[in-house]
Structure 1
Amino acid sequence: MQGFNMGRYIPPDQEGTTSGNQIHKKGPPGALRKDGTQTVRFEMPFATWCHHCRPHAIIGQGVRFNAKKKKVGYYHSTPIWSFRIKHVTCGGAIEIRTDPQNTAYVVVEGGKARDYGEEKVREGEGGVPILSEAERERRREDAFARLEGKVEEKEVGVGNAKRVEDLYRASERDWEDPWGANRRMRTAFRRERKVRKREEEKVGALKERLGTEMEILGESEGDARRARLVDFAADQGDGDAAAAGDVFERRAPSRVTATSSPRNPATLKESRAEALRQRLVGNTRAAMNPFGKDL
């Protein structure tokens, strides 16, 4: 757009003769200032707790900030860099510095690195451990420790290579014939849908036959075992009573009270359900196993 340069306004009469940064007395991003600082894009190397937030909030690994970068010292000949960021949620400042001695980052102000409970810091997911200076010195002086370290790194490398091969094979298998995989999935879905539809029709017919609107659950193995323990009506010498359905002691059906209206559909439905329940309870007895096991 005419009149703008890198997001800064330039008057038309000065366009082409100067820059927006010079007019507004701003330096370009990343330019080194006179005090030795510069603004860089910094990415959080690990999850960090912000101590300025109340309660303390966590900043996830990989979140990016505009940080003020400054050299604050040396470790032998390696410079130590400081990155000072501003947490946009609370406005608090957090300072993170490089640690060349341990090849890591440390939080020196405004927060604390999240503790993952790991004994050794590892480079990458499933990578080799990052050794401290003492561990490196021990491996230099001790041949057995150096050999054990090489064996451990080799095992990690072999495991990672096998994992990568498995991922490649799984990807090739899944994408070898996507049309066939989609067809198999749709066929299984149609089959299951037909089974569910038949079950719903069976349950609907059972509700209509019993004259109830109660929810009927599907059959389970426990229901089948309990059904085998029920004894329905052995003949007790009264053939007429068995034929009439009076297998056990007849119970008087519950009567509709005078306050309830027999013409009310809800009352009739409840009465039928209660009469059915009493009839089933009166005509049913549980078979007893003398050995204490399910039949």
Structure 2
Amino acid sequence: MFRASKAGSGFQLPPSGTCIHKQLPARQGRILMANTTFKEKLAGGAPILGTFLQIPAAELTEIFGFQHFDFGIVDAEHGTLGVNTSIELLRACAASGLASVYRVPGVDAHKIGHVLDLGASAVMVPNIQRQEAAERAVRAAKYYPAGNRGVCPFTRAAAYNGIDQDPDYYNRSNRETAVILQIEGIEGVQNLDQILAVPGIDGIFIGPFDLSQSLGIPGEVNHARVLEAIEDIVRRAGGKNIAVGIFAVSVEQVERYVKTGVRFIAYGTDTLIVQRACRDLGKQLQQAARNR
């Protein structure tokens, strides 16, 4: 269901001594990028699956891509990641076919522009409660005329001055960069119609744990009131043709949310997935040792 296409690029090494730069396909002037963007993955129609990346290990990020996850969310809100580790995870996403999303700590124009300069194909902004915050987030992620993102053509996103061969870079970046806003509290739900009216929003991501807390039932993500709020968000965002994503920690939740109309799902975190795998394998190994 969530299997992503892994079509080969057909790229071959040029003869020895040949300038590789001249051999790269032009793609109508577009800077050559190794991975599919989040918006392209989402446009496939079927629900897509990813996870939050908190462990500073490129190898683990690549494993998720090689095992057909669709996207990875580099988590700078709750994780311990700095700039150097973040860019390594973004490179690992590109190498393994994961669409890269970067969650910033909040509505910070400098931080939003910076992580997009690092090469993330989407930015996720947490805890949006009002229209004004949504507008600030979108403006920070877009170049003129859609926003006021800082311009530097010497970044990874711009192929280190590769834009001299890609005159459409700024317009294309505006088209292809996804802006995902998190709705995590009752105030955001109450102001959702005003938030959805902001041009340039590509996705709404629901944080069910924080949402449950704002409803006075912290941690009860399967409570009827939480599920009703989720369905309400999906319905209203769907009416504006804006995709909704959500955080899930079980296969049962994934199935339920897909039936509700959720388009992209972040299954746990890399820490959760590794912990569960080690826990379950540890139990099996201990049982096998006792049965010798």
TM-score (norm 1): 0.19
Q: Which has the higher strand share?
A: 1
Q: Which has the higher helix share?
A: 2
Q: Which of 1 and 2 has higher RCO (CA within 8 Å, sep 6+)? A: 2
